[in-house]
Structure 1
Amino acid sequence: MKHKKVITAAVCVLLAVSIISAGGYAVNMFGLLNEGNKSEYSAQDAPVFDTALKGKTVIFLGSSVTYGFGSKGESFVEYFEKQYGVNAVKEAVSGTTLADISEKSYVSRLKRIDTSIKADAFVCQLSTNDAAKNIPLGETGACGSYDTSTVAGAIEYIIDYVRSAFNCPIIFYTGTKYDSENYEKMVSLLHEIAVKHGVGVIDLWNSPVMNAVSEEDYKLYMTDPIHPSRAGYRDWWTPVMAEYLIHYLGG
């Protein structure tokens, strides 16, 4: 009987440790345990810059990185608003794909953005979810005949739609390096499409500046291989994106 009690107690301890560990993992999934998400890194406390982006209206379409999944809902969008005076329209839903495979896809949500908005630029995320879900890359197509169930077709459809609806410069941005052959292929495809259609690409994946980050800073800047922390957006991602936009928009 005593032996059974000892075993039961040991099992309870292991179960408790597992629950605590799982809880900690779940919390850290949202970046809550990351040092880079302290209040001192929040957008509200970020320094303000006077640049050519001030007063520009920019539409941002994306998924979790555009939303700020690992940074308490604050992404580069909020830093663009606070630091650069951008009038931002944020259309971001975590877990969604470029490819039109659900009502929450980029293609579907794009059509819900108010077309009366006088946009100065449209910025679209190259979603990591397409890579994770093994969405077919597809092939570039003729104007108006895009297979939006593929990555290529969705990107080209978005470009055509934005040009027609908003008539503004279009810029795609990639994520930073992580272990994904699928996403690497998507980045290459994006560049091919960008040349074909004359759109901009903020290539954080291949950026020497982004890839030169130290191991210590990376731990502060990223909550996992895909999602930045507040510090990551403020001090790593946003400055590079802002510099590109300033030059691309003629600032």
Structure 2
Amino acid sequence: MKNTGAQLQDFLDKMLNSTAYQRGNATEYSPNNVTFNSASPLAGKRIAFLGSLVTYGFAAKGKSFVDYLQARDGVQVTKSAISGTTLAGLETGGYLDRLEHDFSANSHYDLFVCQLSTNDNRHGKVLGNITPSDQWDNFDCSTTLGAIEEICHYVRAHFDCPLTFYTCLQDDPAGQYANLIAQLKKLQAKWDFTIIDLFHNQGLLASTAAHPNAMFDDVHPTQEGYLKIWLPVFERELTAILAS
């Protein structure tokens, strides 16, 4: 369901006035105050990030784990993230549109990282189906799974680098996001990508519970959350992926 303008403004007002937003985005957590680690195994790695609000840093003043990887680890990042966008669909500014326009075909990435958006369920996008193992193009990009396969195909064809999807935190009472994750895992055998599964990461969930200002709500981290909780996970996971 899409928010009306009034609903969106109410949400923004609630966020900006919340204790978690104000304390979790204190100056001490800014990427500008992070010390660069020249010994990081990620230093100099060229990594592309495609996503929506979590990759952007919606509740963290536009700063996410991507910006901390750049500040602390010296990752050369290309970040394309617009809040509220979906995997499925060919709309201007959507995942597939930005995949084509925001990443140069002449770039030589060490890794391409894509957020498994929580917005497809919220916007009522059709899940779709996984295509046969011998189908490598002509996907139904109006569906979420078709769009994921198109991303896999595009990254392989244009960048020839490893691909990683990461999942997000979300209250998921109906199990829709969990089902999408299950389908993503089924696609691994066909497309040979890796998954950073934050949704099922019990350590991350426990750390989040111990830091009340790490998240504005069930989906959106603050700068404190990205710095203290998400960054170490991504440093560890990305290092392992690039070393494999």
**Secondary structure, counterpart of 2:207 in structure 1:** coil
**Letter in structure 1 aligned against 2:127:** L
Pair 1:166 & 2:156 matched: no
Q: 8 Å contact 1:28–1:223 — kept in the other structure?
A: no
Pair 1:93 & 2:82 matched: yes
In the aligned structure 2, how far is the partner of 1:176 from the partner of 1:193?
Answer: 21
Q: Of 88, 111, 115, which residue of structure 2 is paired with 1:121? A: 111
Q: 8 Å contact 2:111–2:163 — kept in the other structure?
A: yes
CA 1:146/1:24 → structure 2, altered by over 3 Å: closer, same or farther? closer
In the aligned structure 2, how far is the partner of 1:86 from the partner of 1:173?
Answer: 18
Greater C-alpha radius of gyration: 1
Shift of 1:215: 3.0
Q: Of 209, 222, 237, which residue of structure 1 is paired with 2:215? A: 222
**Letter in structure 2 aligned against 1:57:** R
Look up the match of 1:234: 227
Shift of 1:220: 1.2
In the aligned structure 1, how far is the partner of 2:95 from the partner of 2:146?
Answer: 12
* Identity level (%): 37
**Letter in structure 2 aligned against 1:244:** E
Q: Of 114, 128, 140, which residue of structure 2 is paired with 1:147? A: 140
Structure 1: unaligned runs, 5 residues or longer: 1-20
Per-residue displacement from partner, 1:11-63 (whole Å, max 9, x unpaired)? xxxxxxxxxx988415248x884311101001111233322210011110001
Deviating 4+ runs (over 3 angstroms): 21-24, 31-34
Per-residue displacement from partner, 1:167-214 (whole Å, max 9, x unpaired)? 101000010242352211111111111232110100000112112236
**Secondary structure, counterpart of 1:221 in structure 2:** coil
Look up the match of 1:76: 65
Per-residue displacement from partner, 1:47-102 (whole Å, max 9, x unpaired)? 33322210011110001111111000101111010111000001111110000241
TM superposition score normalised by structure 2: 0.88
RMSD: 2.0
In the aligned structure 1, how far is the partner of 2:43 from the partner of 2:92?
Answer: 34
**Letter in structure 1 aligned against 2:33:** D
Aligned length: 229
Structure 2: unaligned runs, 5 residues or longer: 1-9
Pair 1:199 & 2:193 matched: yes
Look up the match of 1:47: 35
**Structure 1 residues 80-89 or 177-186, which shifts more?**
177-186
TM superposition score normalised by structure 1: 0.85
**Secondary structure, counterpart of 1:47 in structure 2:** coil
Shift of 1:225: 1.0
In the aligned structure 2, how far is the partner of 1:183 from the partner of 1:23?
Answer: 24
**Letter in structure 1 aligned against 2:79:** K
Q: 8 Å contact 1:32–1:72 — kept in the other structure?
A: no
